Amino acid sequence: MGYSRISIFVSLLQESLLATLIGTLLAAFLAVALLEGIAVNFSIGTFSLSLTPKVIAMGLATGLALGTIGAIPPAFRCLKTSLPVALHSG
């Protein structure tokens, strides 16, 4: 096919990271839009949710890390078989 195994591996990781980035950015936007400043009642009192830039950055980094970790096993599994069969199978 013309592609090396490392090229296929990197391509699969890039595709997964792009989807993960879109998902984490959407989640961060929704969190800020829906949760910022909401008061939460507990038995010991009430507190207000505050999403600082540090918290949002930590959430984005965690999302990207989980997306990377989740993409590595399928990418390796894809490389164990012959490339045409691996790319054709779902």
Please report whether residue 27 resides in a domain: yes
> Tens of pLDDT along 30-39?
988 988 888 8
The CA R_g of the chain, rounded to the nearest whole Å, is 19
Domain count, the chain: 1
Please report whether residue 36 resides in a domain: yes
Residues 78, 90 contacting (CB under 8 angstroms): no
Q: 35 is in which domain, residue-wise?
A: 19-81
Please report whether residue 76 resides in a domain: yes
Residue 16 region by backbone torsions, left for phi larger than 0, else alpha for psi between -120 and 50, else beta? alpha
Using a pLDDT cut of 70, give the percent of the chain over it.
91
> Tens of pLDDT along 6-32?
888 888 889 999 999 999 999 999 988
pLDDT value for 60: 92
Please report whether residue 29 resides in a domain: yes
